[in-house]
Amino acid sequence: MPYPKATHGGEATVPAQPSFPKLEAEVLQYWEIDQTFQASVEARPAGENGSNEFVFYDGPPFANGLPHYGHLLTGYVKDVVPRFQTMKGKHVERRFGWDTHGMPAEVTAEKELGFKTKADIEEYGVAAFNDACRKSVLRFTSEWRDYVTRQARWVDFDNDYKTLDRDYMESVMWAFKSLWDKGLVYEGFKVMWYCWRCETPLSNTETKMDEVYKDRQDPAVTVSLRLETGEEALVWTTTPWTLPSNLAAAVHPDVDYVTVEHEGRRFLLAEARVAAYSRELGEDAAERIVARYKGSELLGRRYKPPFPFFEGQQPNAHQILSASYVTTEDGTGIVHIAPAYGEEDKLVTDAAGITVVGPVNPHGEFTEEVAPYVGMHIFDANKVIVRDLKEAGLLLRHETYDHPYPHCWRCDNPLMQRAVSSWFVAVTQLRDRMVELNQQIEWVPGHIKDGQFGKWLANAIDWGISRNRYWGSPIPVWRSDNPEYPRTDVYGSLDELERDFGVRPADLHRPAIDDLVRPNPDDPTGKSMMRRVPEVLDCWFESGSMSFAQVHYPFENRDWFENHYPGDFIVEYNGQTRGWFYTMHVLATALFDRPAFRNCMAHGIVLGDDGQKMSKSLNNYPDVNEVFERDGSDAMRWFLMASPILRGGNLIVTERGIRDAVRQAVLPLWNSYYFLALYANAEGVEGAWRTDSTHVLDRYILAKTHDLAASVRTGLETYDISGACASVREYLEVLTNWYVRRSRDRFWAGDKDAIDTLHTVLEVVSRLAAPLLPLTAETVWRGLTGERSVHMADWPSEDLLPADDALVVGMDRVRQVASAALSLRKANKLRVRLPLARLVVAAEDVAVLEPFTELLQDEVNVKQVELTTDVAAHGHFELVVNARAAGPRLGKDVQTVIKAVKAGEWSASESGVVVAAGIELREGEYERRLVTGDHGVAAPLPGGSGLVVLDTDVTPELSDEGVVRDLIRVVQQARRSAGLDVADRIALVLEVPGEVERAARHHEAFVASETLAESVSFGPVGPDAEEGVVGDGVTVRVGVSRK
């Protein structure tokens, strides 16, 4: 049966230059009709109690936006690994998930409804607002489905999970209750980063997300606080709006402070900061120091606050306190403390028994407590406050301060620090155990374990999990509305709610859940009621619960979950070490005392072609759909999977890079398949699985395929996907540019060993490439075998193929030598078809080349190959120091290095490190030149393991033979232009100049055999003849006709 043995609805041929996007569309349609994905999962049984399952966690994206390159990259990894595990025989469910709750959804709904504040929502109605959120998060599901399908990612959309589902939310409720029962959840009043637009606090994980910190200009002021002793303590702040709430000042107890007299006033500041204030205090300020103190001597000194709003209300307020975090790196060495708006500030005032005051409402506006600024937004009030300080004579310096400042990741407004009541997970109690459990996780790249993730764990703080919002899982806490009869109830299931409230909620969202009210059992008067606290959970708490919540644990699937936890694999970008990976790890540690996953890949970030963040306005990245239509999904997949981004680096996406993927992988695989089909079909033979050929090239490519199977398996088992891609790429180079090219004559002759061997290795390679090039591999596999799908096939064991380490070492060395020699040809403008007299190979391991001298002779096109182990007799390396490059770094030592190099006193290690005069030279600071005493030109072999010397003298006889080989190339092109089959015999007519005719007549038999010419004649040819160039630019014309 001719190739292709099966198609996907296209033409029953193997095209030489296919449209890969068209082929991919045919495969995708075939998969949909055939239900190949479902069949591939069902064909691998889960086993008793799920013993044969590979558990993959698919991180849920926010569903209210369209997918982007980051999703594309992660999605490919999420497809590669399950495909591989499925082919290895594992049952791999690929359930898609949606992250539907939280501020991303709320912000979208607010924009669509034209709302700007929570008051707008309350007036509209929570029920109606949450309905709007529900609609917004499900809007783009069809677009996601189309996108994911086009990238050839197999996922189960029909059995997806959503964080808004009641079952999912019940599992989240159980998690909260379990933490409560363990004493790991508490309500606290802490200073947190707070979004005044969204009117809710943010957790430390959210404020550490990428791009949260953005450059911002703020006013920085230095203000004097008048001490009762008459001195004026100078404080510096970039938040003037907090000065009306000032309750203390802080110094470091061990820092040296001084009083500087200036224009009749005495200013107190750290001695180390006096010079920084020379403009205000005078250049000679250090000469006017009138007193010195240790910080500890200043403690307890009282001062008049810069504003009177809270003066005299607390006995311990408005005095100097001790704080170890005070530095002299900037500012004055004395810190202004407004504990409602600074986390460290509040710790200091708490220790001093000072109660927080917070004259700013949830919208970020001043309240009536500070009457002059009431109703002003804090950032707008800065200018007015600075003006008032200046008028009061308290402003010493006013400047603009450029600094990175956190912004809300959801609405992009600048945040504020604010003391708020919030619910927390006591992560600090779990921290040591989290660090221990992290050691059980295999990270890719490995440095994440003790680096980015490990350091984050080691410094973890309690996690603020409540949000003062609407659309999310409710915090399942009910409290008495009368503090005289306190009671708190925490619920962990629908059954518990039904038991106490007499109704089983159909919906756990607000406001339905808020309507569950009952009398307080601890109130003998029967008047107080149990009401739910108003907050909802951080959406990261919900996504962190996905491992158990997606299967409705512990209410269903208890045994299955406990036997399959932790999951086998998870992948997202490396910023999730502070996000999803982290929240999953916190909950896994707290709830199960286990890690949440066994293997985790944390890849880098995709950047635009200018190295910046991808931006529609900058138009700095190729449109995904355009790439799919032009190059295909496999090209995009290969470009991303083969890149360093999977090892944690960042990747710049360019059209050239994607097209290179076609050249590196897709085309070589296809061209090899096309080549097999062309010659096998021409001979009317069918390739078969065989590994017993004795031909050296067949044995070599079979052994290389054996090694490839082992390498790709190891790479994918260890989640080194880019390493697996590198192995495939290197192999395809060998297959196409060595095996196929060197075997052309055998295929031309219909050699069954060659056809069967190529058929066999392509069967193996299409299976090995199936996870990496699923669409192209499918077409090749089905064309080769006629079977249902490569993704239904088993992963090929390397044991199916013969290993031959010695042959591989020898032939690889031949390829190295040939590459070096051909590079010399190119550098000296000696075309490959021009034969040369001699090639010398000098290396210690030349013995491995002895069986292949004829092959090497033919490949390099030389008449003689000479092998020797005496490297020194044929050449040596000289080192030349680039003084201009090395001078700036080495200074005077550069002359010492140059003298040592000239004296030959330098060395190079096996790794290539060059040392002269005991000084290590860097790349670019020197040049290594190979010098040969032989006649010809020389080139080093890889790693300095030897050298080759090529004789470049061209005799008349060699020149004639080269011209004839050029002529044969023109004839072959004429055959192709005439549409002749590879086996067609021809009559050949040559219209050539005299010197070319002389050479051709001398080698006429060679010309005839190489071109399948039954006759060769010389004379004029027709107007449709093929024209070409031979030798040094000589034009020839040839005519061919089928015999």
Binding-site residues from annotation for ATP: 616
> What is the helix (H) or strand (E) element at residue 563, kind and residue range?
helix 558-563
Question: ω into residue 519 within 30 of 0, thus cis?
Answer: no
Respond yes or no: is residue 455 known to be catalytic: no
CA distance 743 to 672: 12
613 catalytic residue (yes or no): yes
Q: Whole-angstrom Cα distance, residue 33 to residue 24?
A: 14
Pairing of strands 597-603, 442-444: parallel
Burial class (CB in 10 A: 0-12, 13-18, 19+), 463: buried
Give one DSSP letter per residue of 360-377, joined into a string: B-TTSBB-GGGGGGTT-B
Contacts of 300 (CB under 8 A, 6+ apart): 319, 320
Element (H, E) at 676: helix 667-683
Angle at the Cα of 124 (from 118 to 125), degrees rounded to 5?
90
- What is the distance, to the nearest Å, from the Cα of residue 901 to the centroid of all Cα atoms in its chain? 44
Contacting residues for 271 by C-beta, under 8 A, at least 6 apart: 256, 257, 258, 289, 292
Q: Which residues contact 715 (CB under 8 A, 6 or more apart)?
A: 721, 723, 724, 727
Site of tokens 């594992």: 90
943, two tokens: 């790693």
At residue 509, what is the residue type?
H
Annotated catalytic residue, options 31, 463, 580, 906? 580
Rounded distance between C-alpha atoms, residue 250 and residue 337, angstroms: 7
3-state SS string for 979-1007: CCCCCCCEEEEEECCHHHHHHHHHCHHHH
Among residues 971, 736, 679, 668, the alpha carbon closest in space to that of 833 is found at 971
Closest among 352, 350, 357 to 418, alpha carbons compared: 357
Q: Are strands 1013-1018 and 986-991 parallel, antiparallel or unpaired?
A: parallel
Catalytic-residue membership of 99: yes
Mapped onto helix, strand or coil, the DSSP state of residue 798 is helix
List the catalytic residue out of 99, 167, 388, 966: 99
Cα gap 512→474, rounded to integer Å: 10
- Separation CA 789–CA 36 (nearest Å): 7
Hey, how many other C-beta atoms are within 10 angstroms of the C-beta on 371?
10
Is-contact 10 25, C-beta < 8 A? no
Outline where 392-451 has alpha helix (H): 427-438
Write the burial class of residue 904 (CB in 10 Å: 0-12 exposed, 13-18 middle, 19+ buried). Answer: exposed
Strand-pairing partners, residue 1026, are: 1038
Give percent helix, percent strand, percent coil of the chain, each to the nearest 5: 45, 20, 35
Sign of torsion over alpha carbons 916, 917, 921, 924 = negative
Active-site choice (540, 738, 781, 906) = 540
Q: Give catalytic status of residue 540 as yes or no.
A: yes
Nearest to 824 by CA among 810, 836, 812: 836
Q: Residues 97, 548: contact at Cβ < 8 Å? A: no
Distance CA 52, CA 90 (A): 6
**Amino acid in the structure at residue 785:** T
- Catalytic, 443? Answer no
Q: Which of 616, 888, 892, 956 is catalytic?
A: 616
**C-alpha distances in Å from residue 196, one per residue of 107, 413, 1027:** 13, 8, 77
954: how many CB neighbours lie within 10 A of its CB?
14
User: Which token pair is 252?
Assistant: 């470091």
Annotated binding residues, as ranges? 616
> Which residues in 586-607 are b (16+ Cβ under 10 Å) and which e?
bbbbbbbeebbbbbbbbbbbbb
Q: Which is the catalytic residue, given 4, 18, 21, 60?
A: 60
Which are the catalytic amino acids? 60, 99, 540, 576, 580, 613, 616
